Amino acid sequence: MGLVFPALLKWIGREQRSLGTDVGTLYAVNTASSVLGAFVAGFVLIATIGVNTGLLLLAALYGATSLLLVSSKPARLVSGLVVMVIAGLVLNPEIRAPRYWYNGGFTQAFAVPEANTAFLEEGVTATVGIVQNGSERQLTVNGVIVAQTKEHDLWDLLSKAHLPMLIHPNPKRVALVGLGAGVSLGAVEKYDVDVLDCIEISPEVVRACRLFERVNQDCLADPRLNLILNDGRHFLETTDKEYDVINVDPTDPPVCPLYTQDFFHACKNRLADGGLMVQWVPVFRLSPDNIAIVFNAFLQEFSSTSIWYNGTAALLIGRKGGPISINLQRFIARANSPGVRESLALIGNPDPWMLLAMYVGDASKFLEQHTAPIPENTDDRPFLEYTVLRSPDAMRAKEYWTLKMLAGLGTPIERVLDPGAVVPSFQTEFYRMRTITNSFFSARLRLFEGNNQEARALVERTITGLKVTPEELRCLDHFYSLGVQ
């Protein structure tokens, strides 16, 4: 690839009289062709003939070009044979077929057999696939798992969707950045919203989403939905709409454009006064230092932020203008509405007290504990993107130390409760559930430390002493066991 341009320079340099003009023309043609080549490869070849066939076609063109650049018969014979071999590969349908690989924690790749491939499309913006393992499905974008039908993953997607809708006084205008499997969208549709914009950059994701109707509850059929095929960041920076809730779909670092302070700023600008933004933070993927970077970037834009832990990830819920206030009566009434119960049935129907028990605290303790400077994470200084994979800790070690950090950020939930909406059963019901989740959380830390017997004993005492029902246990199982099998 790098040999062609010098060869052309030597070839046109034979005429001294027009050397300057010829070299300038060659550079102009080369620059224009580089732009055109990138456009054709990304927007034409991949979309029409796929990555494999496109690469083979380009290889054939390089081989054909070599025929023009060599003069000896042996070299021309070799070049001709290469072109013929590549042409044979192009004609082989098995070679042309897309290959499905998915990413294992950004450290290894796994080939997906055809028998386990439920969907695979190569598009202009992404390669989108669905891995089928028995009754479970995993949605991947460029090989990275972005959604699963496993119950612990549904906890992530549903809690992220429901919590801001339960907290906001009157969430009528909602934007979702990213469609994914549509689980969060399906949850938001259970509320009485007037404006429902979902921004998704990849049309292949939209087609794949239709294979998740069991868990997204046929979200694409809702007549209120305005599905926008666009880059979510670009849309928020160019629209003049204002929203009551902005919900961002999960992306695993080091895919980090949606973790910068600039992105959080763009979201805040599109919130109405009192609007809420929810940001998913994967504690299993980030070290405590990485978590601090994300938290700090978020808090620079949302000084009023509450921290929640759903058993798999942390959730940041920031409010534009003034502190967050939770009306407990309204929270419980909405959480018990038929539509919301139907959505929560996917994860065992957790009651409102279990949802509230995910509250960790407001951001005040984080700011108090991190007095030293924290590196900024902005578009032009993407610190997180360049450091997240350099941490020497294994995934389990990262999660352990991050959970230890979260354990130190707790503040009383009464700080964010509206005192005028008291519920008589709050003291008994909430603190019973808070004690259960705290015990399961502590047991999980003991598992990380290798104290398995102590962890099991703590869980058993909690189940017996607080009369944890089988239904509650199903909802809370991942608080204790996920990630430490």
Which of 3.40.190, 3.30.70, 3.40.50, 2.30.140 would CATH assign to domain 101-148? 2.30.140
**Inter-axis angle of helices 470-481 and 151-167, to 10 degrees?**
100
Using CB atoms within 10 Å of the CB of residue 472, give its burial: 0 to 12 exposed, 13 to 18 middle, 19+ buried.
Answer: buried
Parallel/antiparallel/unpaired status of strands 271-281 and 314-319: antiparallel
Q: State the pLDDT at residue 484.
A: 34
What pLDDT is attached to residue 360? 95
CB count within 10 Å of CB 341 equals 13
Q: Which helix (H) or strand (E) holds 35?
A: helix 19-40
The pLDDT value recorded for residue 99 is 84
CB-CB contact of 177 with 236 (8 Å): yes
Give me the residue spans of the domains in the chain: 4-96, 101-148, 151-423
The DSSP line for 368-393 is HH--S----B-SSSBHHHHHGGG--S
Tokens of 227: 């599905």
Nearest to 347 by CA among 52, 148, 141, 65: 148
Please indicate whether residue 418 is annotated as part of the active site: no
Q: For domain 151-423, is the CATH number 3.40.50.150?
A: yes
Edge to edge, what strands does the sheet with 127-133 contain?
117-122, 127-133, 136-141, 144-148
Report pTM: 0.88
What span, in angstroms and rounded, lies between the C-alpha atoms of 54 and 48?
9
What one-character-per-residue DSSP string does 203-263 give? HHHHHHHGGGHHHHTSGGG-TTEEEEES-HHHHHHH----EEEEEE----TT--GGGSHHH
Q: What is the pLDDT along the chain (485 residues), one digit of tens a residue?
A: 577 788 778 877 767 788 888 888 888 998 999 999 889 988 888 888 888 888 888 888 877 877 777 778 888 888 888 888 888 888 888 887 788 888 876 777 889 999 999 999 998 889 999 999 999 999 999 998 899 999 888 999 999 999 999 999 999 999 999 999 999 999 999 999 999 999 999 999 999 999 999 999 999 999 999 999 999 999 999 999 999 999 998 888 888 899 999 999 999 999 999 999 999 998 888 888 889 999 999 999 999 999 999 988 999 999 999 899 999 999 999 999 999 999 999 999 999 999 999 999 998 888 888 888 899 999 999 999 888 877 656 566 778 888 888 888 999 999 999 999 989 999 999 999 999 999 999 999 998 888 999 999 999 999 999 999 999 998 888 777 634 33
Element at 83 (helix H, strand E): helix 73-91
Confidence (pLDDT) at 139: 95
- d(CA 394, CA 392) in angstroms, rounded, equals 7
**Which residue out of 156, 197, 244, 249 is catalytically annotated?**
249
